[in-house]
Amino acid sequence: MKQLVQTFAAVLLAAFALMYLTSYLNASQGYTGGDTLTIYNWGDYIDPALIEEFEKETGMKVIYQTFDSNEAMMTKISQGGTTFDVAIPSEYAISKMKDDNLLLPLDPEKLPNRKYIDPRFLNLSFDPDNRYSIPYFWGTVGIIYNPELVGDLKFDSWNDLWDPSLRNQILLVDGAREVIGMGLNSLGYSLNDTDEGHLQETLAKLNQLTPNVKAIVGDEIKMLLANEEAAVGVVWSGDASEIMDDNDKLDYVVPEEGSNLWFDNMVIPKTADNVKGAHRFINFMLDPKHAAQNAEYVGYSTPNAEALKLLPEEISGDERFYPSEELTEKLEVYDNLGKRMLSHYNELFLQFKMFKK
């Protein structure tokens, strides 16, 4: 018994020593718990210089981690164990995270720079009154194409993708909502349509597109289009901007029937350990100067109206990435369709991919 007590005491002493050592090492690096901020974001989705500036301004140490899908991000946060103070999910993910009680409400008094966000991008269906999220970047889903390879096609309509001249010339992003939504829009339906007849009609029409589809791919779509491995791609506007930086022959358009208006917003997960620091970081990123710098670095569209005024005219005046209000009114945010319907969308997309093979 005495030996057991001695062993237990030794283990306890070792545990305390390890805790002290960890605390000492953290302190020696200039941070401890409350002045550490962990950010969970998409890869290459912030100007690193802004993180450095925030650290210098606040004295906080930023730990930056990345995810490659909303689903992976939500799973990690829902499992707990890892503390994330700020995350940047997309609109439908925000809606689901709210339903799953994974978010903390924001304190408007700690976010005075919220006033710079364009009112068009506030109070949307996925987060009424922006109680849980603030816009970070926004954009569209559209068509990028090489005018030298597509003849007279201008892609004013989604239906131009079905032109026989495009056989084996189209790349599609590997996303169920994007591809099913594009099919629905081509028929004049909402990209949030849940009518089974409309969905089956869409699948049949997408199956007719398969001769023109060269591949359904992930991130490599940017390299393939920039290298002219295909003439046309259905992509997110931010990717289109990046591709066009690598190959200025290409052009981007949002078809007249409308498309997706997507958002990535800043949120504070429920497991946050530094809520005060999270608000400070969000407000820092909402500063027009910082938002403009970030938009110029990343290449995506800023929702910050004052930041837009600070950007070069060739960026802020480009209606491909800052479309008119008339076109914006035709765009739709993805609704959270619920687990059953989202599964059905995925099943339809899988059937389309299998038909292509």
CA-CA distances (angstroms) from residue 62 to 33, 111, 134, 194, 288?
11, 19, 20, 42, 21
What residue type is assigned to position 142 of the chain? G
Better pLDDT: 356 or 147 = 147
Interval 315-337: pLDDT, tens: 999 999 999 888 888 899 998 88
Predicted TM-score of the model (pTM) = 0.81
Which part of the chain has CATH 3.40.190.10?
A: 31-132+264-316, 139-260+331-356
- Residue 29 and residue 52: Cα distance in Å, rounded? 15
Phi-psi region of 103 (alpha: psi -120 to 50; beta: other; left: phi over 0): beta
Check whether 134 has a pLDDT greater than 60. yes
Interval 227-275: pLDDT, tens: 999 999 999 998 999 899 999 999 999 999 999 999 999 999 999 999 9
User: If you average pLDDT over every residue of the chain, what do you get?
Assistant: 90
Contact 77, 97 (CB under 8 A): yes
- Whether domain 31-132+264-316 has CATH 3.30.1600.10: the reply is no
Better pLDDT: 79 or 27 = 79
Indicate the class that CATH gives domain 139-260+331-356: alpha beta
Check whether 27 has a pLDDT greater than 60. no
DSSP conformation class of 288: H
- Residue 187 and residue 201: Cα distance in Å, rounded? 9
In this prediction, residue 219 carries a pLDDT of 84
CA-CA distances (angstroms) from residue 318 to 126, 249, 254, 328?
27, 16, 13, 14
